[in-house]
C-alpha cells in the first residue's frame, strides 16, 4: 500500500477541539470522533502543543470511549515546539530536536493518546540547530520499537528535507497552502513532494478567505460566485477543490470543529475543478494574469 493510501483524503485537524477553540467536553469530543469516522474521515491531525499540551490527552480519553477501532483510523502528531505553558515552563519559545527529547515527546504523546503507535510523526517546524544524525537515531529507535509507522515534517523547505534525508526518508510535509497562501506553488515545496512522492498536506487550507475582507478576497469571491452554481458547491468546497487540483495530490487538514463544515469538506474531494477555472481563481488571488 502506498503511504498516501492509508489516510482519508480530508484530514480532521484537532487543534481547535480543546482549550484553543471549542473546549469540547469528553462526551462532545467522543461524538465528534464517531461522527468523523462514520463519514469516512478517518485521519486525525494532532500536535503535542495543541491546547497548551493538553489536547492529545483529551482526545485519547474520548477516543477510548468512542468504540472506534484503532486500526481503522490514522493518528498524525507533531513534536519539537517548546513554549511557556502551565504544563511546561520554558524561558523562551524554541525548538528542540535532540534524540532524548524526540523519544520522550513521542512516548508522552502515545500515553496521552492512549495508543501504542502513531501513524506518522512530524517535526513541527525546522530548527536552525537541528542535527540530522541525532534526529535519524531517534526516529530509527522509535520505528524499531513500533511506536511510529512513518516519519515526516511540517513547514520544511526542500533543502531542509534534503539535509534530513542524508539520514532517513521523509514521507510527508505538512505546509500552509491555500488560494490566499500559495507560495509553496513557486518555492519548490510542492515540486519536492511531487518529485519524491512525499505526502503533501495543507494546513489552513481555506486561507484568509473567510477571515479577512480585502481587495484580494473580494476578487476571489467575485470569481467564485458563478462557480458555486456551476459546480453546485459552496465557497469552502471550491477552495478545497482548488488545492486538490494540484498534481502533488494534496491532503487538506481541515481545522473546523463544526460537523456540517466537515461534511462539506468531504464532498469537496469529489469535485474535479476545470483547468481554466483553476487559473481564473489563481489570477483572482494574485491580481494579475500568469506570465
**What single string gives the DSSP state of each residue in the chain?**
--GGGGS-SSEEE-TTTSTTTT---HHHHHHHHHHHHHHT--EEE--TTHHHHTHHHHHHHHHHHHT--GGGSEEEEEE-EE--BTTB--SS-EE---HHHHHHHHHHHHHHHT-S-EEEEEE-S--TT--HHHHHHHHHHHHHTTSEEEEEEES--HHHHHHHTTTS---EEEEE-BTTB-GGGTSSHHHHHHHTT-EEEEESTTTTTTT--SHHHHHHHHHHHHHHHHHT--HHHHHHHHHHTSTT--EEEE----HHHHHHHHHHTT----HHHHHHHHHHHHTS---
Residues with catalytic annotation?
Answer: 50
Instruction: Report whether 37 contacts 66 (CB < 8 A).
Output: yes
Comparing CA positions, the residue from 26, 93, 91, 98 lying closest to residue 65 is: 26
CA distance 120 to 99: 17
Q: How many residues does the chain have?
A: 291
The residue assigned the cell 502533488 is 248
Strand partners, 123: 79, 153
Strand partners, 252: 202
Amino acid at each position: 500500500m502506498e503511504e498516501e493510501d492509508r489516510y482519508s483524503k480530508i484530514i480532521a485537524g484537532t487543534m481547535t477541539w480543546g482549550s484553543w477553540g471549542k473546549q469540547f467536553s469528553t462526551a462532545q469530543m467522543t461524538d465528534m470522533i464517531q461522527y468523523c469516522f462514520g463519514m469516512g474521515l478517518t485521519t486525525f491531525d494532532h500536535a503535542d502543543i495543541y491546547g497548551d499540551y493538553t489536547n492529545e490527552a483529551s482526545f485519547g480519553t474520548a477516543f477510548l470511549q468512542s468504540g472506534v477501532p484503532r486500526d481503522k483510523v490514522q493518528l498524525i502528531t507533531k513534536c519539537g515546539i517548546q513554549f511557556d505553558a502551565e504544563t511546561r515552563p520554558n524561558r523562551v519559545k524554541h525548538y528542540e530536536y535532540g534524540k532524548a527529547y524526540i523519544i520522550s515527546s513521542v512516548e508522552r504523546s502515545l500515553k496521552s493518546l492512549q495508543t501504542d503507535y502513531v501513524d506518522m510523526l512530524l517535526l513541527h517546524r525546522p530548527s536552525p540547530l537541528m542535527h540530522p544524525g541525532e534526529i535519524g537515531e531517534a526516529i530509527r529507535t522509535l520505528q524499531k520499537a513500533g511506536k511510529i509507522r512513518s516519519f515526516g515534517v511540517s513547514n520544511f523547505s526542500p533543502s531542509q528535507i534534503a539535509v534530513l534525508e542524508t539520514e532517513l526518508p521523509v514521507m510527508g510535509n505538512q505546509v500552509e497552502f491555500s488560494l490566499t497562501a500559495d507560495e509553496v506553488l513557486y518555492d519548490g515545496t510542492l515540486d519536492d513532494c511531487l518529485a519524491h512522492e512525499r505526502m503533501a498536506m495543507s494546513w489552513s487550507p481555506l486561507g484568509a478567505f473567510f477571515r479577512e475582507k480585502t481587495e484580494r478576497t473580494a476578487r476571489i469571491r467575485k470569481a467564485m460566485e458563478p462557480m458555486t452554481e456551476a459546480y453546485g458547491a459552496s465557497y469552502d468546497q471550491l477552495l478545497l477543490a482548488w488545492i486538490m487540483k494540484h498534481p502533488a495530490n494534496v491532503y487538506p487538514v481541515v481545522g473546523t470543529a463544526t460537523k456540517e463544515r466537515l461534511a462539506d469538506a468531504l464532498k469537496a474531494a469529489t469535485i474535479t475543478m476545470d483547468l481554466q477555472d483553476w487559473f481564473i481563481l489563481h489570477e483572482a488571488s494574485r491580481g494579475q494574469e500568469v506570465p
